[in-house]
Amino acid sequence: MRIKTTSAVITVMLLGAAASLHCQSSSTQAWSLPTGTAVTDSSPRTYRFVVDYNMANSRGEMTSRQRLTGEYTRGLAGGEVMWKNVTHENASGATDPFAPPQKQEFMEGFRYRNDLGITMAPDFFKGFPPTAMMERNLVWDTGMIEMFGQDFFDRLKLNQPHHIFSDQNTKIPGVGSFQNHDVVLEWIGRSKRNGQECALIRYQAFFNPLQIATGGMSLNGRSDYWGEIWVSLASRQIEYATIYESVVGEMKLPGQDAVMNMNVFRNGSFEPVDIK
C-alpha cells in the first residue's frame, strides 16, 4: 500500500507540473503582441483631442488656464489626415469658468500627409499665426501618440522598458529647439476600450531641454512628459490615449525685459468620436 500511495502522489505531482507548464506556455503566448501587422485604415476615423493648459507661478498658484479642442480625422485618401472644429478657450485663475470657445479658422480643413517628419518642415505651418504654439502642439502630439502606439509593436516585451530615443535634438523652424533626453516605452498590460482588446503602452520622457523664441516671447526651460496609449490588437488603431506634460523655465514676454519663472502643466485625452 505504501508503494502504491507514493506512486499515486508522484503521478499527481507530475500531472500538476505538466498542467503548470501548459498554463505558462499558454499564458506566454497570450501575452505576446502580434507582429508583422500593419495599421488598418478601413475607412476614415475621427478623434477628439482635448488638452488643458494650466499656467502657474513658482509657488503653485494658478494664474490662467487654456483649453484646446480639435477633431482629427485619419484614413483619408492618399494617407492624409485633417483637422476641423479646433477651438481655444480661456479662463482666469484656478476656478473661473472658461469663456466661450473661439474657433481657430486657420486650422479648419488643415490637411496633410500623415507623416510626423514633414511637420518639422520650415513652411509646414505657414498659415498659422506665430504665437499659435498650442495649435501646433495638437499636430505634434497626435503624430507622437500614433508613432509611440503603432510603430514599436515588434520590439515591445511585457513589463520591459524599451528606450527608443536618447538625446535626440529637434530643431523647430521659426520656433526653437527641443531635445528628447530619453524616451521610454513600456507595454504594461492588456485592457479593453471601445469593445476592442488593446495593448496598454506607457510612455515617458523626463529632463528634456527646451528653447522657444517666437512672436516676441522667449522661453528657456525643460519639459517632462508621459502618458498611456490603448492600441487595438486587431487593427493597431488608437482607442484612447492620455498626455501629461510639465514645463518649467524662464520666460520673457513681448515688450518686457523682466524674466519670469513659470510652470505650465497640461493634460489631454485623445479618443475616437465615431464609435459604432
Domain ranges for the chain, please list them. Answer: 42-272
Instruction: Give the torsion sign (CA, 107, 73, 77, 116).
Output: positive
Pairwise CA distance, residues 151 & 165, whole Å: 13
List, for residues 212-233, the tens digit of each pLDDT value. 887 778 889 999 999 999 999 9
With cell 505634434, the residue in question is 140
Under 8 Å CB-to-CB from 229, ≥6 apart: which residues?
Answer: 145, 148, 149, 200, 201, 202, 203, 238, 240, 241, 242
Specify the pLDDT at position 8: 45
List, for residues 67-76, the tens digit of each pLDDT value. 999 999 999 9
Specify the pLDDT at position 251: 85
Instruction: Give how far Cα 23 sits from Cα of 26, 43, 84, 187, 189, Å.
Output: 5, 39, 49, 21, 18
Contact predicate 204/229, CB 8 Å: no
Adjacent-strand bridge partners of 182: 166
pTM of the complete model = 0.86
Specify the pLDDT at position 25: 40
Residue 53: strand, helix, or coil: strand
Q: How many CB atoms lie within 10 A of CB 257?
A: 6
Pairwise CA distance, residues 221 & 110, whole Å: 30
Name residues of the chain where pLDDT drops below 50. Answer: 1-29
Specify the pLDDT at position 157: 95
Our CA angle for 123, 134, 65, nearest 5°, is: 165
Domain at 42-272: CATH architecture: Roll (2.30)
Which grid cell sits at 28?
506566454
Our CA angle for 220, 224, 229, nearest 5°, is: 140
Specify the pLDDT at position 10: 40
